[in-house]
Amino acid sequence: MSTPRFLTLPPGVRARRLETAVGAFAALEAVPVSGVAERWPALLVPGFTGSKEDFIAILQTLAQAGRRVVAIDLRGQFETPGPDDPEAYSCASLGADVDAIASLVGAGEPVHLLGHSFGGLVTREAVLDGTAKLASYALMSSGPAGIVGPRERAGRMMLSELPELGLEHLWANRMEPEALQAGVPLDIVAFLRKRLFANSPTGLMTMAREVLDARDRLDELCTSGLATLVLFGEHDDGWPPGMQAEMADRLEAECVVVPGAVHSPAVEAPETTASALTRFWNRAESLFLQR
């Protein structure tokens, strides 16, 4: 469960809804202070049980580099509604949603696409099977296939307990105590509860299966031709740092390890993360234009 650092929107960041051919999606949008975007836009996709708010700490900094930056809720997450059909929450279906959103955000321009954690498994579907024009691809705290380690164990426990015990039980007996023990401020804890219970129950179950059992598509990604970044915290407790570094090698991607961060660099080390993304996106645009 990603934990936003704060919830107040900085100046230049606004909430909006994106109307696409496949439905409406809740989003946060940041633009340069001047109001003029001189560089290509970026689209940020959250992980399992996450939301657009996981990127609040980096949105304004990213936009100050001269680009429009959009963070979304996936279908069935928080403020984006979703159906009771499990197929709507497969990586392939969610990837098709991201592809449609990227086309809208780009409006004819190439888009920098970033996926965090489960969002990395979703966005690769858009990279491999979508039609949107992409300038680059960034994987943040994600992996080549299903998640492993402590987060895998937590996910499988959730899958086994949720149908029998219910979400309220899991929140009250596991998620809330863990957040309080970690020192999460009470207003953020209240938000985490609100966000969790706003998720589609069908979406929660299906996304959990998807993040646990996703297949490896790295060989296909190697042929994408996109400038690619693999960025993760040095203490990541999702996909191990060594596994993510190996993934970067397989993809011939730039690799950035964020000191002190765990599984959510955008929250735990926002300035370092935003700086790394801005450098990567600027270089990717130069490479794109040299093709």
Q: Which pLDDT score is estimated for 273?
A: 98
Tens-digit pLDDT profile for residues 42-65: 999 999 999 999 999 999 999 999
pLDDT(2) > 90: no
Half-sphere exposure of 6 (CA within 13 A, CB side): 7
235 in a structural domain: yes
Residue type, 45: V
7 in a structural domain: no
223 in a structural domain: yes
Two structure tokens written together for 241:
């740092």
Residue tagged 């409406």 (tokens): 24
Strand, helix or coil for residue 173:
helix
Mean of pLDDT over the chain: 95
Residue type, 69: V
Whether the CB-CB separation of 99 and 127 falls below 8 Å is answered with no
152 in a structural domain: yes
pLDDT(152) > 80: yes
Quote the CA–CA distance of 273 and 256 in Å, as a whole number: 9
Tens-digit pLDDT profile for residues 177-222: 999 998 999 999 999 999 999 999 999 999 999 999 999 999 999 9
For the chain, give the percent of residues with pLDDT over 70.
100
Q: Helix, strand, coil shares of the chain as percentages rounded to 5?
A: 50, 15, 35
Instruction: Indicate left, alpha or beta for 76 from its phi (over 0: left) and psi (-120 to 50: alpha).
Output: left
Q: Which pLDDT score is estimated for 289?
A: 87
8 in a structural domain: no
Q: 20 lies in which domain range?
A: 13-290
pLDDT(142) > 80: yes
Whether the CB-CB separation of 135 and 225 falls below 8 Å is answered with no
Band (pLDDT 50/70/90 cuts) for residue 227 is: very high
With a CB cutoff of 8 Å and minimum separation 6, the contacts of 28 are 9, 13, 14, 15, 16, 52, 53, 55, 56, 59, 70, 71
CATH number of the domain within which 137 lies: 3.40.50.1820
2 in a structural domain: no
239 in a structural domain: yes
Band (pLDDT 50/70/90 cuts) for residue 14 is: very high
pLDDT(141) > 80: yes
Two structure tokens written together for 274:
């935003």
Tens-digit pLDDT profile for residues 18-35: 999 999 999 999 999 888
Q: Which pLDDT score is estimated for 1?
A: 63
Strand, helix or coil for residue 182:
coil
Domain count, the chain: 1
95 in a structural domain: yes
